[in-house]
């Protein structure tokens, strides 16, 4: 099953094409790079020219912002969790040189899925411990914590952990332990200590480095990561895998889960639907499995 985000209050994908996307994020109209947008835009150039801020991608993958009316600065994106009475989150948005903003909106259905699972466990009086690996700025972690979970958020980059803590403070949400560590090292520690988690999200990059310069390559390390996640998943627990690497499709995630002895329950593509038309901007893949 494909997991397609949208509509999302506070976010609009207005158009895409020619490796760019036109968005409104927390009120700011921006153009950001989007290599997956291989088609022709639908809106005319006049509509695109209304965006006062654009990130221009350099050949080395970095980027730089051009602002005609000044840098929009830090913005606040309000996200309402699932269910009546769910707590609202305030997620801080900042535009980085790589064209990121601190949130990946294709993940919004995943935040909702995890929050719903935690809320269901809590309503049944059961433990609700979450683990977010490669957690970035922590939207999924905060969604689980706001639903009542005890959450471990793991990322090797100090800057995104600080960003996540600031969003937690803005949202008045506690219950997240922010851990600067390599994901595989944290899983190894969890296995040694006998820790178990009721909800796990693993969203690995194509490549990267851990806190102690450990090298991560998805083509070499995905299966080991899945094996470790399955080992620390509690009985009845939910494991969600996502990937955004070129060439990695949801069948690969499902196969890795199956090889670890935990067949995928469902999976498919990730994407974001345009605000005013049915087109979907592809943004990776996902698979989910349940233990027991």
Q: Of 48, 67, 86, which one is at a domain's C-terminal end?
A: 67
**What range defines the domain where residue 41 resides?**
3-67
Same domain, residue pair 221 and 86: yes
Answer for the pair 144, 118: CB distance below 8 angstroms, yes or no: yes
Tens-level pLDDT at each residue, the chain (292 residues): 999 999 999 999 999 999 999 999 999 999 999 999 999 999 999 999 999 999 998 888 778 999 999 999 999 999 998 876 778 999 999 999 989 999 999 999 999 999 999 999 999 999 999 999 999 999 999 999 999 999 999 999 999 999 999 999 999 999 999 999 999 999 999 999 999 999 999 999 998 887 777 899 999 999 999 999 999 999 999 999 999 999 999 999 999 999 999 999 999 999 999 999 999 999 999 999 999 8
Q: Rounded CA gap, 56 and 54, in Å?
A: 6
52: domain CATH number is 2.60.40.1180
**Residue 267: beta bridge partners?**
287
Q: What's the chain's length in residues? A: 292
Same domain, residue pair 170 and 48: no
Dig out the tokens for 33 from the structure: 């790079």
Dig out the tokens for 141 from the structure: 């972690």
Same domain, residue pair 63 and 81: no
Task: Report the pLDDT value the prediction gives residue 59, as an integer from 0 to 100.
Answer: 80
- Beta-strand relationship, 63-67 and 75-80: unpaired
Same domain, residue pair 104 and 21: no
Q: Model pTM?
A: 0.96
Task: Report the pLDDT value the prediction gives residue 84, as an integer from 0 to 100.
Answer: 65
How many CA atoms lie less than 13 Å away from 113 in the CB half-sphere?
A: 22
Q: Of 67, 85, 118, which one is at a domain's C-terminal end?
A: 67
Q: Rounded CA gap, 20 and 184, in Å?
A: 34
Same domain, residue pair 12 and 139: no
Q: Rounded CA gap, 170 and 96, in Å?
A: 20
Same domain, residue pair 202 and 264: yes
- Beta-strand relationship, 266-273 and 280-290: antiparallel
Same domain, residue pair 184 and 245: yes
Q: Rounded CA gap, 181 and 66, in Å?
A: 34
Same domain, residue pair 22 and 123: no
Answer for the pair 235, 254: CB distance below 8 angstroms, yes or no: no
Q: Of 19, 37, 67, which one is at a domain's C-terminal end?
A: 67
Task: Report the pLDDT value the prediction gives residue 86, as an integer from 0 to 100.
Answer: 76
Same domain, residue pair 91 and 53: no
Burial bucket for residue 265 (CB in 10 Å: 0-12, 13-18, 19+): middle
Q: What angle do CA 176, 182, 188 make, to 5 degrees?
A: 90
Q: What residues contact residue 23 under an 8 Å CB cut-off, 6+ apart?
A: 11, 12, 13, 14, 29, 30, 31, 32
Q: What residues contact residue 51 under an 8 Å CB cut-off, 6+ apart?
A: 22, 29, 30, 31
Dig out the tokens for 8 from the structure: 């999302």
273: domain CATH number is 3.40.50.150
Task: Report the pLDDT value the prediction gives residue 210, as an integer from 0 to 100.
Answer: 77
Task: Report the pLDDT value the prediction gives residue 83, as an integer from 0 to 100.
Answer: 74
Provide the number of structural domains found in the chain. Answer: 2
Same domain, residue pair 51 and 134: no
Same domain, residue pair 22 and 104: no
Neighbours of 199 (CB within 10 A): 26
Report which of 119, 130, 126 is spatially closest to residue 86, judged by C-alpha positions.
Answer: 119
Same domain, residue pair 90 and 53: no
Q: Rounded CA gap, 234 and 135, in Å?
A: 20
Q: Rounded CA gap, 65 and 95, in Å?
A: 8
Provide DSSP, 7-47. Answer: -BTTEEEEEEETTEEEEEETTEEEEEE-TT--S--SS-HHH
């Amino acid at each position: 099953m494909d997991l397609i985000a949208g509509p999302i209050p506070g976010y609009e994908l207005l158009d895409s094409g020619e490796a760019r996307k036109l968005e409104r994020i927390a009120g700011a109209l921006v153009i950001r790079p989007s290599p997956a947008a291989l088609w022709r835009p639908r809106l005319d150039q006049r509509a695109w020219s209304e965006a006062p801020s654009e990130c221009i991608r350099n050949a080395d993958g970095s980027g730089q912002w051009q602002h005609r009316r000044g840098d929009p600065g830090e913005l606040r994106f309000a996200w309402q969790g699932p269910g009546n009475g769910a707590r609202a989150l305030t997620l801080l948005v900042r535009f980085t040189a790589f064209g990121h903003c601190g949130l990946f909106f294709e993940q919004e259905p995943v935040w909702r899925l995890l929050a719903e699972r935690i809320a269901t466990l809590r309503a049944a009086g059961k433990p609700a411990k979450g683990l977010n690996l490669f957690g970035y700025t922590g939207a999924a972690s905060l969604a689980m914590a706001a639903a009542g979970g005890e959450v471990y958020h793991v990322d090797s980059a100090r800057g995104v952990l600080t960003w996540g803590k600031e969003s937690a403070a803005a949202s008045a949400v506690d219950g997240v332990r922010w851990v600067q560590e390599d994901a595989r090292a944290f899983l190894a520690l969890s296995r040694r200590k006998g820790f178990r988690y009721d909800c796990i999200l693993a969203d690995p990059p194509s490549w990267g480095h851990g806190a102690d310069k450990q090298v991560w390559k998805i083509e070499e390390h995905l299966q080991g990561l899945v094996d470790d996640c399955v080992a620390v998943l509690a009985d009845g627990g939910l494991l969600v895998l996502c990937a955004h690497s070129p060439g990695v499709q949801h069948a690969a995630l499902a196969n890795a889960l199956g090889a670890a002895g935990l067949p995928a329950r469902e999976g498919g593509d990730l994407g974001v639907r345009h605000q005013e038309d049915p087109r979907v901007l592809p943004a990776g893949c996902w698979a989910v499995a349940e233990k027991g």
